[in-house]
Amino acid sequence: MIIHNRVGILSHFLPEICLACLATYAMESLILTDAGRMVEHVWQELPSYSPRVGLDIFQVMPNHFHGILIIKADLEQVPIASVGAEHKDPPQQQHATGSPLSLLDLIARLKSLTTTQYIRGVKENNWKRFDKKLWGTRFHDHVIRTESALQSIRTYIQNNPQKWEFDRLNR
């Protein structure tokens, strides 16, 4: 397994107004809203935009998202399947310059697609409104270089829902 090309997206927050837009916490577990299921679906579709992208563990939280993207240096490193992801035949998209999509491109695509679909949900399904931007402008990324770091981040993501009840953002 090649580790150095995995990028952990540890924190990607929605503005405070959308505190429980994506999930609610009940009976010691998270229950995704329709908006949360939409974000999950868009995340799972990211590999269809580039043959160099795979997915590892991810978690939709009430007001943020955690996930690990696998960005391959070349096509020979493409795994047959990524953990927990459904795949289509990718259209191998690139920039107009011909260079492959970067992490920033992929995050911009995630934010753009989810914002567009969220706006549709507000109009058609009475989802909670948001002010100006659905997603915050920043996110935390980290290159995962070792197996132990990968396992540590996977554990953090997996256990994050159980910590929501005590999270300072859960008001």
Q: In what order do the strands lie in the sheet with 6-13?
A: 53-60, 64-71, 6-13, 140-144
- Round to whole Å and give the CA distance between 136 and 87: 28
pLDDT at 117: 95
- Round to whole Å and give the CA distance between 149 and 154: 8
| CA distances in angstroms from 110 to 2, 53, 169, listed in the order given | 24, 13, 23
pLDDT at 129: 87
- Top-tier CATH class for 6-163: alpha beta
Instruction: State the DSSP code for 100.
Output: B
- Helical (H) or strand (E) element with 65: strand 64-71
Tens digit of pLDDT for each residue in 107-137?
Answer: 889 889 999 999 999 999 999 888 888 887 7
Tens digit of pLDDT for each residue in 2-37?
Answer: 344 555 554 555 554 465 688 887 777 888 999 999
54 beta partners:
70
pLDDT-based confidence at 74, cuts 50/70/90?
Answer: low
Other beta carbons within 10 Å of 144:
22
